[in-house]
Structure 1
């Protein structure tokens, strides 16, 4: 099996149902058995009785492994590369998933996060495969066996492997996604934004059609250059999934695979390329396969663009696209937008509030009303705030088709904000009755995602939520970064969570500017660097010299009182992680309370696997918070880093993992220089 080795990305993922792929595969290989998934059995309930009835399937299908089907030749997981043309929709109405997946295949970086390459039908084959999906702020690894429902011996009930390549990655991925949702029936009709988010962890921008032709084409091209996923859906007709006279399918999802301006007659015409997850059934109008327009164009790129194949992919004029389609969905890790000059304006900061919940009793009408605050600092001419909610699917009944969550963005005046800040310092989680006029936004709503874009003037704002049932959710607030802020960001400014933050690391030029002859940094130089480069946007918040001495000692591997470039790089990686933890834990901007220390630990990647007792948390709250119970960012950094070093020191020194023996000198050296 040939595989593209580029852009492999290892991501940490939660094991769905507690199933560990490598452990289960290795156990099967040792026993000489093929894996049978006891959590998603080959029975009708895994398909869904409602779906079997809808498709008039009176007899139960058989479940076969691809290796048992000798009529097609040997199976492959992926042959050379994964392509949208490997996908051919079956009997489930999951075009909303497959259209998103078709777009995913055009972005190898995203695709490799979903399709781990450590699996095949040849090497270490044990009948087990796994896939990753993004669920409400975390990646989830889903294991499946390769038994697939088959009708009439060789007719696969759902995604069908293509005859010419016999690849099974789409079939198995569909099964894993069905398992995640409970059954194949739960994939039968859904929302494109939900699938786009589940495959990327991104945010969806929705363009309602019709839209300005020039802006639409520019947006599509810009999004494609940024590696965004793009999909769209047709207008609803009297029936779903019905082929219309023009060749399009009603209430159906398509992948957007390209956009070009082409020479035509004496002018130019904008055309958009789409792909139908059915793998056939194409548009019959202008610029379709075999149309007169392709015969008349003199564009030198004709042979490159035009392929007359029955593969489900076709070109359509921008005008016809806007007439026949309802919405265009663009998904990226960070929002894709154009500024007032129609240029890419993609620098955003992000606030994240994970594992949030609204609880209450619908009988008495009493619900919690969590509120989330953010500050807009600079006036802008375009959308400058995007608020995006993602509901945890497990908190919604499977029968629900609607999103129960609503919210408003309200401007908060300075007097109210001062009261809110004091409330947070005293330990109150929210303040009821925030007053103000709701801001108007534009956006979209699906079963699990609710996103709106706003154009807000400078000021402090509150996101006020409401719901008709108990829900758990992730809230992300994206704030557009001004030109001034972008210049600051080039100098290691970490006061905001940037789109590229996890990848930027440290810049050697900055290290050398503060170090001794470009070689080492002492505590005083470290203090200057952190305060001038890390906290320049937070007046009144500073790392003290004593805090920097403690941080240096924790990172000082050579024990010489200095940090070299490699040691500082390790420190910077932890500072980035501490910034994420602080942002994800704070109750309002800049406010982290001592009672949230456990949550801060849970939000810190380098502390995974380290447990802390309630007694220790109480002691640390006394040690690192001020008299109001507030913990500053520098104090949080000192606490989190010392917790890591001390926990690792114990495990390195302990012979049995239960205790350790140290001489007095060893003990004093350990606890005093840290």
Structure 2
């Protein structure tokens, strides 16, 4: 399953829950077909149990299954030619769900459509009838049995008598109540009010003949509170948020359309939203840029209005799906309030030939009145190039980093920076735990990919540590622990704070820099493990969330 930019493998056995010798959950009408039941079991294991799959969001499940980008829109708000829009979406391999939310859950309207029930759209066709051409859509009810009973339905519909047998054969029309049915686009708009579209990317490879998925570029990032200067929200877009350069050069090929524009989709996903139980409202802004500009200063942002933006949302993902004239643009992902913590994944979908890359900040030689933002870790830690050299120096011949190697590596990395001297508080036990908590292969050692993930966490947490180390002693005062944890996106209660004081502080009740890294790594890992067993995100398994942290942190 696709999880925040990575494919995660889930292994299951073939023991499926039954009652009265019948499957309790998803089943196929074919007695020997079990792939869907096994897929459901794997997805339930990923999310924490079968109960976690009840009443979810289909568009989020489609992302997890395909690695695509989803958008949700209301049919009354679709102003363009709907059949043409749907045809273009399906031609690019998009998955389309639809629903009617205007009635009681799972009850039928007078023509057989279930309320608040997820249907799939499987085809859009212009059909030749004896009365002229009609646009039809083919809809699938995954439950089967219950179907549309209005015009163009499968059973006893007079409209099909106006269509030749050859045309019906082209449509692969099936005359039985199997859950799949045809209806006119007009009736579709009357009986459905919400559409979910999952745009496919190259993540799955070539989906099928004639299907042309979007090109997709992914960028991981995070917002760290209290790192940069304040100011107005628009000014803080420069100080606190990364910028991404969008180059649009390839114009869409649309027969008969003389408007030369380039289509694109920008999707901003916040990571681990439910895990941390923190609602961050997301913004996306897209600004025009000069052909030679790769970065917008705070002065630029105060002068230039955004050309595209979304209405802020606390959902898992927000998107902008639009088209612009060829040119250069800047994408800025942000939170609705300054100084909010969060990790994000930015995905940019474009037609072949267009691109999106991290925007390059101006070099000192390019700067006149522009103040360059900086991050505290830059004065404390080596660059990524230097740390790669240190990794190669201290890892074994197979490119693996064991706890002792990690201890030597981190000790050398801290020398020479503003945290020099704090390495004496780094213990081998810290490094053993860091290796165990970050090891993705179960071999008690880190390869470069594992270490790079750890190093990115260390850089982010170092920023937070240096902000709250107000006395510059390389130790956090006990009173600074709670706000520092909150800046890292972790909220703890008084009992856990007492536990931190007992278990993770030095004799003078301060936390050293290495101890702070270890504490955050421990907390983050335990929260992830708790979430794996938390049914439906309710904050309880067989013990409470706080009890879980209390128990696991003391180990």
TM-score category of the 2 structures, normalised to the smaller one: 0.5 to 0.7
1:247 and 2:112 aligned: yes
Partner of 1:597: 385
Once the two structures are superposed, the pairs formed by residues 147-546 of structure 1 within 5 Å of their partners are: 147-151=15-19, 153-162=20-29, 164-204=30-70, 208-210=74-76, 215-226=81-92, 228-290=93-155, 291-303=157-169, 305-325=172-192, 326-333=194-201, 350-354=216-220, 356-360=221-225, 369-376=240-247, 378=249, 381-392=260-271, 394-397=272-275, 404-411=281-288, 434-435=301-302, 436-441=304-309, 447-456=315-324, 458-466=327-335, 470-480=341-351, 485=353
**Contact 2:216–2:349 at 8 Å: present in 1 too?**
yes
**Superposed displacement of residue 275, structure 1:** 0.6
**Superposed displacement of residue 139, structure 1:** 0.1
**Superposed displacement of residue 142, structure 1:** 0.8
Aligned length: 356
Q: Deviations over 1:425-464 (max 9, x none)?
A: xxxxxx7994331233579978422211244453442413
Give the distance between the partners of 1:307 and 1:418, measured in 2 at CA: 56
Query: Alignment partner for residue 588 of structure 1, among 360, 384, 388?
Result: 360
**Contact 2:247–2:329 at 8 Å: present in 1 too?**
yes
**Superposed displacement of residue 204, structure 1:** 3.0
**Contact 1:598–1:617 at 8 Å: present in 2 too?**
no
Give the distance between the partners of 1:599 and 1:311, measured in 2 at CA: 60
Partner of 1:134: 2
**Contact 1:286–1:316 at 8 Å: present in 2 too?**
yes
**Contact 1:411–1:439 at 8 Å: present in 2 too?**
yes
SS in 1 for 2:44: helix
**Superposed displacement of residue 147, structure 1:** 3.4
Distance 1:159 1:587, change over 3 A: same
**Contact 1:253–1:276 at 8 Å: present in 2 too?**
yes
**Contact 2:154–2:174 at 8 Å: present in 1 too?**
yes
**Contact 1:358–1:467 at 8 Å: present in 2 too?**
no
Deviates more, 1:383-392 or 1:207-216: 207-216
Give the distance between the partners of 1:166 and 1:345, measured in 2 at CA: 31
Give the distance between the partners of 1:190 and 1:170, measured in 2 at CA: 17
SS in 1 for 2:349: strand
Give the distance between the partners of 1:360 and 1:465, measured in 2 at CA: 12
Partner of 1:3: none
Structure 1 stretches lacking a partner, 5+ long: 1-132, 336-343, 421-430, 487-495, 498-582, 602-608, 621-646, 649-674
**Superposed displacement of residue 232, structure 1:** 2.1
Give the distance between the partners of 1:182 and 1:465, measured in 2 at CA: 30
Distance 1:470 1:213, change over 3 A: closer
Distance 1:374 1:619, change over 3 A: farther
Distance 1:348 1:471, change over 3 A: same
- Two-structure CA RMSD over aligned residues (Å): 4.4
SS in 2 for 1:409: strand
Partner of 1:428: none
Partner of 1:668: none
Q: Deviations over 1:189-222 (max 9, x none)?
A: 2323212221111223556424779943334334
**Superposed displacement of residue 328, structure 1:** 4.6
Query: Alignment partner for residue 610 of structure 1, among 382, 399, 406?
Result: 399
**Contact 1:369–1:466 at 8 Å: present in 2 too?**
no
Give the distance between the partners of 2:57 and 2:386, measured in 1 at CA: 36
Give the distance between the partners of 2:162 and 2:55, measured in 1 at CA: 40
Distance 1:244 1:474, change over 3 A: same
Q: Deviations over 1:319-338 (max 9, x none)?
A: 11122222251421069xxx
**Contact 1:385–1:455 at 8 Å: present in 2 too?**
yes
Partner of 2:462: none
**Contact 1:137–1:474 at 8 Å: present in 2 too?**
yes
SS in 2 for 1:237: coil
Give the distance between the partners of 1:156 and 1:184, measured in 2 at CA: 13
Give the distance between the partners of 1:442 and 1:455, measured in 2 at CA: 14
Give the distance between the partners of 2:319 and 2:26, measured in 1 at CA: 30
Give the distance between the partners of 1:599 and 1:250, measured in 2 at CA: 56
Distance 1:218 1:610, change over 3 A: farther
SS in 2 for 1:294: helix
Given the two structures, how large is their TM-score scaled by the length of structure 2?
A: 0.54
Structure 2 stretches lacking a partner, 5+ long: 204-209, 252-259, 364-377, 390-397, 414-446, 449-555
**Contact 2:243–2:295 at 8 Å: present in 1 too?**
no
SS in 1 for 2:119: strand
Give the distance between the partners of 1:258 and 1:446, measured in 2 at CA: 32
Q: Deviations over 1:628-664 (max 9, x none)?
A: xxxxxxxxxxxxxxxxxxx99xxxxxxxxxxxxxxxx
Give the distance between the partners of 1:231 and 1:264, measured in 2 at CA: 26
Distance 1:370 1:433, change over 3 A: farther
**Contact 1:203–1:334 at 8 Å: present in 2 too?**
no
